[in-house]
Homo-oligomer: A and B are copies of this chain.
Amino acid sequence: MIKTPYLLFLGDAPDSLSAKVAQGIKDWRPDNAVGQFRMEGCKADLGLQDMTLAEAREAGAETLVIGVANRGGKISAAWKEVLIEALNMGFDIASGLHNLLRNEADLVAAAKASGTTLHDVRVPSVEYPIADGKKRSGKRVLAVGTDCSVGKMYTALALDEAMREKGMKSTFRATGQTGILITGEGVPLDAVIADFMAGSVEYLTPDNDDDHWDIIEGQGSLFHVSYSGVTMALIHGGQPDALILCHEPTRTHMRGLPEYSLPSMEAVRDVALTLAQVANPDCKVVGISVNTYHMSEAEADAYLAEVEERLGLPAVDPFRQGAARLADALAAL
């Protein structure tokens, strides 16, 4: 568990796209961020207050979160200077970078000297159990996609927000680096050892109040041959009561797999539901989330209406419309 609130480190970000972790925190957990820290030449700006390390500490920041991708796969000397100063001032540091903080001797030494913590959220910090499949109390909903990167995390976060607005009890359960940094906790599922994947999802979504919903961030797709095993573990470890189908209609092939075309939503619905009902016979597909970013508003509206009619389920783009109708579908279960 990462201590909040954060100071968001944008470094020398070359553009705003490279700061999407920080943007996610600002969008979804604005209370978690006291401000932003930008170095010379930084081209990203979240519109948060620019702060020095000292100002941020004074404002209560506990953790410096690296909210930006680094260039060239290494932590630069310029970054290092800031990070070491932050550790010396009592900040923990959290990072989802591929190159781990714990492999940098100077950061490790500074953290040790100051009694602070380095969080590499890309690596599991828990020994997860093997899944036992026992029925847990509380309810769970999982986003399943026709492909990777179709908006499953966005859908889950939007759904969490919509449910809270309706006074429902919900918790977003992160299963990837960005989600973990946004909420401060979760399971980096793609880095878990095969035998413990489903167990880590059980660990992430324990017994809860009968009217509480865990909103589990999806990963991969049952139809994406590189990552389908991860998706499968989410479906069985999560034992969801409800599935939401996620789709991006303009994609011409599976992400990273030019030889593979996308499955239909019907195909995903059928096989995901069959497998989900192994762990939870009452599981239902309750709604559809479409990422219409590459469509005009008129195209998007027409597409959503067509999908809604064809599959007989509420279909929304949570970015354009919010996820209130998906929350209603869960409330009606």
- A residues lining the B interface (CB < 8 Å): 130-135, 189-195, 197-199, 222-223, 225-233, 235-237, 239, 256-257, 259-260, 263, 267, 270-271, 274-275, 278-279
B275 and A271 within 8 A (CB): yes
User: Given A223-B278, A274-B271, A278-B223, is A197 in contact with B260 using a C-beta cutoff of 8 Å?
Assistant: no
B226 and A229 within 8 A (CB): no
Secondary structure at chain A's binding surface: helix, strand, loop or mixed?
helix
A199 and B223 within 8 A (CB): no
CA–CA, A133 to B237, complex, Å?
Answer: 25
Residue of B nearest to A274 (CB): B271
Shortest beta-carbon contacts, A-B, top 6: A229-B233, A225-B236, A232-B232, A229-B229, A133-B225, A190-B195
16 A-B residue pairings within 8 Å (CB atoms):
A130-B226, A133-B257, A133-B259, A190-B193, A191-B193, A191-B194, A192-B193, A192-B194, A194-B229, A195-B227, A222-B275, A228-B233, A228-B278, A229-B236, A232-B232, A270-B274
Interface centre among A132, A235, A278 (most CB of B within 10 A): A278
Query: Which residues from B are CB-within-8-Å of A226?
Result: 130-133, 195, 198-199, 236
Query: Which residues from B are CB-within-8-Å of A190?
Result: 193-195
* Distance to closest chain B CB from A221 (angstroms): 10
